Chains A and B, each alone.
Chain A
Amino acid sequence: MTSTLRVVIADDDPDIRGLVAIAVRKAGFDLVGQAADGPSAWSAVSEAHPDLVVLDVSMPGMTGLEVATLIRADESFAGTRIALLSAGVGESAIQAGVDAGADHYLTKPFSPRDLATQLQEIMA
C-alpha cells in the first residue's frame, strides 16, 4: 500500500528539491506537492493533506521548524509525519526539530538511495 502514500517536499534549493523528489519516487511514494519557501510549503500541506512532509529547516518566509509547528498545531494533520532535512548536525539543532514536532531529522548531505530507504522506513 506504500504506493498510495502522498508526500509534500519543501526546500529553497531547487537542486536539493530535485534530489529529494527523486528519492521520494525511488521510495515508491506519490509526490503531491513541492514548495520553495515556508508559506508555500504550508499552503501545499494545507491543500494536499499528505501522509509525509519533508521540510528543509532553512527556508525563506518561514523556516521548516515553523511550518512543522503549524502542522502540529492543526489536529487535522494528526496522521501526517514530518521529516526535517537540515545541514545542521548539532544536538541542539536536532532537539529544536523534535521540539517543533518533527518525527525524524535527516541530515545533509544525503545519498538519494539512502534517503529513499530512510523514507520507506519512516512510513513503514
Chain B
Amino acid sequence: MTLIERAWNLLRVDDPSPTLKHTPTTLAFIAAIIVTISVPGVQVTSLSAVYAAIWAVALSTGLGFLFTWVPNLRHLAIIVPCIDLLAIGALRTGTGGVSSLFASLIILPVVWIASQKGRQYIVIAAAGTSVALMMPFILGVSHFTEPADWLRGIISPIIFAIAAAIINEMSRQSRLQVSKVRALAEERDVMLKGAVDYTERLRENEQRLRDADQLTRSVLDAVTEQSVIGSDVTGLIDVWNPGAERMFGLGPLETQGKRYVHEFHLADELNERSKELNYPPGETVLNPGFSALVESARLGVPEVRQWTYLRDDGSSLTVEIAVTRRTDQNGKTGGYLFVATDVTQALEVSRLKDEFVGLISHELRTPLSSILGYLELMRDDEESPLSYEQVQYLGVAERNAHRLLRLVGDLLFTAQVGSSSFSLVASDIDVAPIVRASLESAKPVADAAGVSLSADMCEEAMLIHGDAVRLGQAVDNLISNAIKFTPRGGSVAVIVGELDGKAEITVTDTGMGIPEDELDKLFARFFRASTATRAAVPGVGLGLTITKAIIVAHEGELDVASIVGVGTSFIVRLPLAGAKASSTAS
C-alpha cells in the first residue's frame, strides 16, 4: 500500500479509520481542556487526574494513528475508545468529579464502541461508561453521600447501555444496508463491465462487418472482365459491379433496385429454357423466364450455361453465366448471383480454329491425295513397267507421303481434341480382337526392328462401350511406340486382362525408358522424352497426346511406369460395358 493510499484510508468516510473515529473525541477533549483553563468558574479538583486524562487521550490518539497506519492491527482499534473512556473518567475526576462539566463527553467513545459489529460491544460500552462515571468515586475524589449517587452509578450506565444497544442495532442495520449497497454496486460494476465488453465486441463485430463489406466491394470492383450481378429472389437487381457497368454501359444507380435480371436476357432464350424445364415454379409476370434462369441454382446446384445478354441499345453478346444461390444466415435463399464472362471472342477463336483445321485438312490432304494416287498409278502401270530400282525409289516416296499423311492426321486429330470437336462412334466391342489386330499390324515392324513381340490375352470376351477405330488407333500408338523405343534384341509384351470391373491392356517394353521427372509431361502436345531425342528416335510428340485423349474419351485411364535403361509400361484401363451400366444404375 502506497503512502497516498494510506493517507486516503485515513480520510475515508464510508469505512472510517480509527484516527477519523477518534477525531471528535480528541477535539472535544482539547475543547474541554481549553474551557478548563480559560473559564474561571471551572474548578480543577485534581491536577494529576487531569494530567492523566491528557496523557491517556494522547495515548489513544497515538494508537489511533498506529491502527490506521497498520491495517493488520486494525482489529485492536477498540482499545482506543476504551482508553478514551478512562481519559474522560479521569478528566471528570480532575474537574469536579460527579459535578464535572464534561460527563457528556462519554457519549463519543460509547458511540464508537457501540457501533462495532457484535452485541458484546453493548456490554463493553456499558461497562466502560460505568467505569468512567464511577471513577471519581473509585479514585476517592468524590464520595457516596446520597443513595442517588449509587443510582447514578447504575442508572447512567444502563441508559448508556440502552443508547449503545440502539446505536449497535442501527449500526448493524446500517452495515447490512451498506453491504447490500456494496453488493448492488458490485453487481452494477459487473453489469457495467459486461455492457462495456459487449459494446466493445459489438464495435469489433461492426468493424469486421465493415471490413468484410469493404473486401466484398473491393473484390467486386476488381472484377472488370466479368459482370457480377446480384438479385433478390424476384430478380430485382441489387448488385451491379464495374464489369457489368462495362458490359452494359449502365451504372449501378440506373439498375440497382430499378431493373430486373431478365430484362438483360434474350426473351426467346428464356422462354425456350422455361419450356425445357417444364415452366419451373416461382415465375411471375414481373420476371418472365427468371425462374428458368435460376432453377438449377435454386435447387442448390450452381449452373454454368451460355446465354445471350441484351444491351439497352439493342446489341447483344454471348456470355457464359455462372448462376449461384445467395443464402441468408438461416440458410434460406436470399437471392442469386450471376457472374458472366463474355465468350464472343472465345467463340470467334474457336470458329477460326475450326476453319484452320478444315483448311489444313483440305489443303494438305488434297496434294497428298494427288501424290499418293499418281505414285500408285506409276507403280501399277502395266504398259510400261518400272525397273527394280525405280520401284525402290517409288517405295521411298510413298512411305514418306504416308508418313506426312499420318502427321497431318495426327495434327488434325489433336486440333479436334483441343476444340473438343472429336466424337466417338461407340458400340459394345470386345477388347481382345482390337489388340490382336494391332499386334498383327505391328508384327512386321517388330520383326524388321529385331524386337520380339509377345501377347498374353484373356480368353473371355471383355466388352466395353467404345469406338473400335479410335481404340485401335490408341493401341497401335502404344505398341508402335514400344517397338520404336526398344533397341534391337529387346522385347515388347502385351497383356490383356480384367481387373476390378475394368479391361486392362498393358504394353511393356525393354526400351530406353523415360526419366521420372518427365513422366508427368509425357502426354502434353509435342513433348518428347529426353531419352528419345538423345537417341534420335523419329517423331513429333503427338502419339501419346492422342492416345490419352482417346482413352479419356472412353472414360478410361492411362498410366505409365518407367525406369531409364530398363523399360516402360503403359497401362490402359477401360470400364467394362456391364460394370459401367451397373455403376450408372447405382
Residue of B nearest to A86 (CB): B362
Interface residues of A in 80-97 (CB under 8 A from B): 86-92
Contact B422 A19 (CB under 8 A): no
Contact A19 B374 (CB under 8 A): yes
Contact B361 A87 (CB under 8 A): yes
Indicate whether A22 sits within 8 Å of B377 (C-beta atoms), given known contacts A16-B366, A90-B416, A109-B368. Answer: yes
Q: Which of A2-10, A47-55, A71-79, A110-118 contacts B (4 or more CB under 8 A)?
A: A110-118
Residue B376 is within 8 A (CB to CB) of chain A in the complex: yes
Indicate whether A15 sits within 8 Å of B358 (C-beta atoms), given known contacts A108-B366, A109-B405. Answer: no
Q: Please tell me which one of the listed residues A16, A58, A90, A92 contacts residue B369 in the complex, with CB atoms under 8 A apart.
A: A16
Q: Please tell me which one of the listed residues B362, B376, B412 contacts residue A111 in the complex, with CB atoms under 8 A apart.
A: B376
Q: Which residues of B are in contact with A by a Cβ distance under 8 Å?
A: 358, 361-362, 365-370, 372-374, 376-377, 380, 405, 412, 416, 421-423, 425
Interface residues of A in 11-61 (CB under 8 A from B): 13, 15-16, 19, 22, 58
Q: Which residues of A are in contact with B by a Cβ distance under 8 Å?
A: 13, 15-16, 19, 22, 58, 86-92, 108-113
On chain B, the residues within 8 Å of A19 by CB distance are 369-370, 373-374, 377
Contact A91 B369 (CB under 8 A): no
Contact B423 A91 (CB under 8 A): yes
Known: A16-B369, A19-B369, A19-B370. 6 other contacts (CB 8 A): A16-B366, A87-B365, A88-B358, A88-B362, A89-B412, A91-B425
Contact A109 B369 (CB under 8 A): yes
Given the complex of chains A and B, what is the CA–CA distance between A109 and B368 in angstroms? 7
Shortest distance from the beta carbon of A80 to any chain B beta carbon, whole Å: 25
Given the complex of chains A and B, what is the CA–CA distance between A60 and B378 in angstroms? 30
On chain A, the residues within 8 Å of B365 by CB distance are 87, 108-109
On chain B, the residues within 8 Å of A58 by CB distance are 362
Given the complex of chains A and B, what is the CA–CA distance between A83 and B169 in angstroms? 126
On chain B, the residues within 8 Å of A15 by CB distance are 367, 370, 373-374
Most A CB atoms within 10 A — which of B367, B368, B377, B425? B377
Residue of A nearest to B413 (CB): A89
Given the complex of chains A and B, what is the CA–CA distance between A58 and B369 in angstroms? 15
On chain B, the residues within 8 Å of A110 by CB distance are 369, 373
Contact B374 A90 (CB under 8 A): no
On chain A, the residues within 8 Å of B372 by CB distance are 109, 111
Contact A16 B370 (CB under 8 A): yes
Residue of B nearest to A57 (CB): B362
Contact B376 A112 (CB under 8 A): yes
Nearest first, the 5 closest Cβ-Cβ pairs linking A and B are: A109-B369, A87-B365, A15-B370, A19-B373, A108-B369
On chain A, the residues within 8 Å of B422 by CB distance are 90
Shortest distance from the beta carbon of A40 to any chain B beta carbon, whole Å: 19
Residue of A nearest to B358 (CB): A88
Indicate whether A113 sits within 8 Å of B380 (C-beta atoms), given known contacts A88-B361, A89-B361, A90-B421. Answer: yes
On chain A, the residues within 8 Å of B423 by CB distance are 90-91
On chain A, the residues within 8 Å of B380 by CB distance are 113
Contact A112 B366 (CB under 8 A): no
Most B CB atoms within 10 A — which of A89, A108, A111? A108
Residue of A nearest to B412 (CB): A89
Residue of A nearest to B364 (CB): A87
